[in-house]
Chain A
Amino acid sequence: NIVLTQSPATLSVTPGESVSLSCRASQSISTSIHWYQQKSNESPRLLIKYASQSISGIPSRFSGSGSGTDFTLSINRVESEDFSIYYCQQSYSSLDTFGAGTKLELK
């Protein structure tokens, strides 16, 4: 199985800061990585697909980049509603896997 390693596990920031969350794959997966946001007691929500493609209805401050094994989710000027957990997921293999998540918390 393809293993996804997310870092850091926790990121403490103040509103208005810009942040980058990392997801590293155990083998090259082209751009077959997708990012989700999960707020407490809610289902995950798709934020970015195929590394950098935007999703309708998602604020433009969210963006993604990367290819191969290293991927980044960037949030430009974090807002209070952004404090939640972020997961990456790969669909390169027919057996999907998720990362363990990065918790974005208020400093």
Chain B
Amino acid sequence: QVQLKESGPGLVQPSETLSLTCTVSGFSLTSYSVSWVRQPSGKGPEWMGRMWYDGDTAYNSALKSRLSISRDTSKNQVFLKMNSLQTDDTGTYYCTRVDYPGPFDYWGQGVMVTVSS
């Protein structure tokens, strides 16, 4: 069955870089796109960016200067890197499968990231 699982550090220092991995199973990264979505505690989700099935990327304009998404299809993994983290980057980070060109039909369990010294 389709599964996505996020992994990465739960605590990041301010101004440091966040690195997260999304490991997928049950589908191919060359057939489906994967998006990253984050959610501060008590707030709505925010779309961060997307790795298209063809290897292209798209980013939220508010995060574009700090964000990079890449993938390793041989390992069924999508990566997120975001630099210059601040306290308002604290929240739960999800990877999702995109039922192109539309909805996020499967979600990972999420990983909680806290930005604090």
Contacts and interface: CB of A to CB of B under 8 A. Distances in A.
Contacts of B58: 94-95
A44 B50 CA distance: 17
A53 to B, nearest CB: 9
Contacts of B7: none
B44 A87 contact: yes
Given A98-B44, A100-B44, A44 B61 contact: no
A91 B101 contact: yes
B109 interface: yes
Contacts of A19: none
Nearest to B103: A34
B103 A43 contact: no
Interface in A25-43: 32, 34, 36, 43
29 contacts: A1-B61, A32-B102, A34-B103, A36-B104, A43-B109, A44-B94, A44-B104, A44-B107, A46-B103, A46-B105, A49-B99, A49-B102, A50-B102, A55-B105, A87-B44, A89-B45, A89-B47, A89-B103, A91-B102, A91-B103, A94-B58, A95-B47, A95-B58, A95-B60, A95-B61, A96-B50, A97-B47, A99-B44, A101-B44
Interface of B: 35, 43-47, 50, 58, 60-61, 94, 99, 101-105, 107-110
Interface of A: 1, 32, 34, 36, 43-46, 49-50, 55, 87, 89, 91, 94-101
